[in-house]
């Protein structure tokens, strides 16, 4: 059994349902953005959204879209991978060998309260909760970047503890 399977088995059914709901909300956010439905997007995001970015300043594409500073036509987010871990939903995408992004959305009661945007950065998400330490005695990695086209690139790496 893998560490990921151990986490799933240890989670109550209600937590799995919440993860599925969170994934659906974030997926609907991306669909709303791609269709230019900013009213729909605004319904999913808290008015006091906490935002954090890592990457070249000119690449803060998602935050510019969320604030209305730019449109979906300037940079198109096409998620290639979606993963829910507790209250967080991780979206990952890449376009060829030059563009790689990871978005980590934190939801509370169906509303996005925190957004972390990583551009051309390898990301590893680890469990720092006491519960996580009891379940997985050695491997605390919950998720890590896996872009298919970028393995030969040297990118900065960060660890995000949740």
pLDDT tens, 31-72? 998 888 889 899 999 999 999 999 988 888 898 888 888 766
Q: Enter the pTM of the model.
A: 0.78
**CA–CA separation, 40 and 32 (whole Å):** 6
Helix, strand and coil content of the chain, in percent to the nearest 5, comes to 30, 35, 35
As to burial, measured by CB atoms within 10 angstroms (0-12 exposed, 13-18 middle, 19+ buried), residue 133 is: exposed
DSSP readout, 33-53?
A: HHTT-HHHHHHHEEEEEEEEE
Phi-psi region of 55 (alpha: psi -120 to 50; beta: other; left: phi over 0): left
- pLDDT value at position 2? 37
Of 25, 28, 53, the C-alpha closest to 116 is: 53
Q: Which residues are registered as beta bridge partners of 84?
A: 89
Q: Which one has a higher pLDDT value, 36 or 156?
A: 36
Q: Which one has a higher pLDDT value, 68 or 91?
A: 91
Is pLDDT at 4 greater than 50 in this prediction? no
């Amino acid at each position: 059994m893998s560490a990921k399977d151990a986490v799933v088995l240890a989670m109550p059914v209600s937590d799995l349902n919440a993860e599925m709901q969170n994934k659906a909300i974030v997926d609907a956010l991306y669909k709303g953005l791609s269709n230019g439905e900013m009213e729909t997007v605004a319904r999913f995001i808290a008015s006091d959204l906490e935002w954090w970015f890592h990457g070249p300043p000119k690449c803060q594409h998602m935050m510019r879209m969320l604030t209305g500073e730019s449109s979906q036509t300037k940079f198109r987010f096409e998620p290639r991978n979606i993963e829910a871990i507790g209250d967080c939903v991780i979206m990952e995408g890449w376009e060829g060998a030059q563009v790689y992004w990871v978005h980590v959305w934190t939801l509370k009661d169906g509303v996005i309260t925190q957004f972390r945007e990583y551009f051309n950065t390898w990301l590893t998400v680890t469990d720092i909760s006491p519960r996580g330490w009891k379940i997985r005695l050695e491997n605390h990695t919950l998720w890590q970047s896996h872009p298919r086209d970028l393995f030969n690139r040297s990118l900065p790496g960060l660890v995000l503890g949740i």
